[in-house]
Amino acid sequence: MSVDTVKQPNWFSRLAHPGQFLAWSRYLIWPLAIATGLSFAIGLWFAFFNSPEDYQMGDMVRVMYVHVPNAWLSQLVYGVMAVSALGTLVWRHPLADVANKAAAPLGAVFTALALYTGSLWGRPTWGTFWEWDGRMTSTLVLLLIYLGIIALWRAFDDQLKAGRIIAIVTLVGALNIPVIKFSVDWWNTLHQPASVFTASGPKMPGSILTPLLVMMLAFTLLFALLQVARMRTEILRRRAETLSRQAALQGAAK
């Protein structure tokens, strides 16, 4: 076979090779950490010192600056996991199940925080910490799906086999995402309709939208940072497990 006919891997395949990923992703950690820290500092300054009270909710509007970013990430992280699941099943991408496993605990924490801050926001504004309405119940279901996926990852020794099964579970669970998004339109709920991601644009003044967007950026950067760090750790963990198995087999053969 001549050299010209050898199929070269494309840029996507080269970036996705676990060894290559470890090499280039190390340069992302510190810039992401600094950008995350700066975004949180600016966002918190806006949230506490440079944004007005809401004319109806008063200072309770400040809970929105931590509630909405976590609610946004609870769905974004699941989106990342769903794309990873497709990567596992369709393209057999070497990093796809690593990304899925890395993201699941992060998504669970962001979802738990969305529920926690939402209930604290709900008590003074609606008069209750919890109501079994469409948005809250579907978000609770999302948390349970995250916990189920984490439990499945821990239940399998063979991580490649686990990856394929969990990819199917992840894609089935993705049906819940549009339910969360449109629950406030489909059913009568206590939860307010969408006010940031709407067809006609955000429905809030710039003085409240600015801190909200900065806090959403900060939490999204935090997710990116933790996701890259966890993917690196997972690749190295699998490397360590392979080496331990090889050493055990060599020891048994002697």
Partner 1 sequence: MIGDGAHIEFIAWAYVGVAVLTVALVAYVVWDSLRVDARLKALDKAGIRRRSDESKR
Residues lying near partner 1 in the complex (CB under 8 A) are found at 19, 48-50, 53, 58-60, 62-63, 66-67, 70, 105-106, 109, 112-113, 116-117, 120-121, 123-124, 222, 226, 229-230, 232-233, 236-237, 239-240, 243-244, 246-247
Residue 123 CB, shortest distance to partner 1, in Å, is 6
Closest to 133 measured CA to CA, from 196, 183, 174: 183
Compare residues 89 and 224 and give the one whose CB is closer to partner 1: 224
- φ, ψ (nearest 5 deg) of residue 2: -80, 160
DSSP 2-69: -GGGSPPPPHHHHHHSHHHHHHHHHHHHHHHHHHHHHHHHHHHHHHHHSSPPBTTTBGGGGGHHHHHH
Residue 250 CB, shortest distance to partner 1, in Å, is 9
3-state SS class at 54: strand
Cα 183 → chain centroid: 20
Closest to 93 measured CA to CA, from 9, 6, 5, 177: 9
Residue 55 CB, shortest distance to partner 1, in Å, is 14
User: What residue has token string 């948390």?
Assistant: 143
d(CA 85, CA 101): 10
